[in-house]
Structure 1
Amino acid sequence: MPRTARSIAAGGFYHVLNRGDGRHKLFVKDADYDAFCHILADAPSCDTRSNLYAWCLLPDHWHMVLSPEREGENEKE
């Protein structure tokens, strides 16, 4: 049974994370970390606006703390 969608409040703080399937490694070599960092650096050019306060990359997952600037920002349609 799917969970009920959460509302996204402007200015709220959200802990976002993602793990590799079966906890397999996402980042195997230094170039993998570099590629992710380059993607993250390009994120401000996206249409959605969120403030990124902290992030952490680990071999099998990553964490971010962010805050959307507008109500409902980043919600899945």
Structure 2
Amino acid sequence: MGRPLRLESAGALYHITSRGDGRNLIYLQDDHFELFLQILADVCERYQWVVHGYCLMNNHYHLLVETPDAKLNQRMR
């Protein structure tokens, strides 16, 4: 069963999290953390997101993101 649809609104703050499949590691080397942060920076620049906080763990991450439009679901793809 899928999760309920996320309510989206312009200027909202979202807690975004993702975990490795089966709680497996998603960052295997230190430079993978850096690559993830670079990709996140590129996404933020492209869609004008503001990251208020983040936590990168070996098998998951948490982001606190503010979006200027109500298209988070579309932008996460």
Distance 1:66 1:73 in 2: 12
Q: Which runs of 4+ in 1 moved over 6 A?
A: none
Residues in 2 aligned to 1:6 and 1:37: alpha-carbon distance in whole angstroms: 24
Q: Paired residue for 1:63?
A: 62
TM-score by length of 2: 0.79
Q: What code does the residue aligned with 1:73 have?
A: K
Question: Which residue number corresponds to residue 8 of structure 1?
Answer: 8
Equivalent residues in 2 for 1:6-45 (5 A)?
6-45=6-45
Percent identity over the alignment is: 30
Aligned to 1:51: 50
Conserved? CA contact 2:26–2:60, under 8 Å: yes
Deviation at 1:73, TM superposition (A): 1.9
Task: Let me know the Cα RMSD of the aligned residues.
Answer: 1.6
Q: How many residues align?
A: 74
Please give the TM-score of this superposition, normalised by the length of structure 1.
Answer: 0.79
Unpaired runs of 5+ residues, structure 2, are none
C-alpha separation in 2, matches of 1:25 and 1:3: 23
| Distance change (3 Å), C-alpha of 1:38 and 1:3 | closer
Gaps of 5+ in 1: none
